[in-house]
Amino acid sequence: GNCNIYTYDRAYRKFEKSELNPGDIIIATNIAGRGTDLTIVKLLEANGGLHVILSYMPGNLRVQQQVFGRTARGGKR
């Protein structure tokens, strides 16, 4: 399949992709993800949905929950 990689590293810049598809990869800083809502297509949801890989140890549990909570917006778990 296809793999599309997007970078997102500025808090003031809006993420340009409106829907995420299977094969889409976002590499983002922690600050860039704040206030970002990601919409996934039904095919991606049917195949396990959005996954978050944390590449650092958060300073506290609240920060960790905030990062992983981005995959659970709009009632999704």
17 has which bridge partners? Answer: none
- Bridging pattern class, strands 19-20 and 39-40: parallel
**For residue 73, is pLDDT > 60?**
no
Q: How far apart are CA 39 and CA 67, in angstroms?
A: 16
What letter represents residue 28's amino acid?
A: A
Which structure tokens are listed for 33? 């993800």
Higher pLDDT, 47 or 11: 47
Split at pLDDT 50, 70, 90, the class of 62 is confident
**For residue 8, is pLDDT > 70?**
yes
46 has which bridge partners? Answer: none
Task: Count the neighbouring beta carbons within 10 Å of the beta carbon of residue 6.
Answer: 13
Domain boundaries, the chain: 4-75
pTM value > 0.85: no
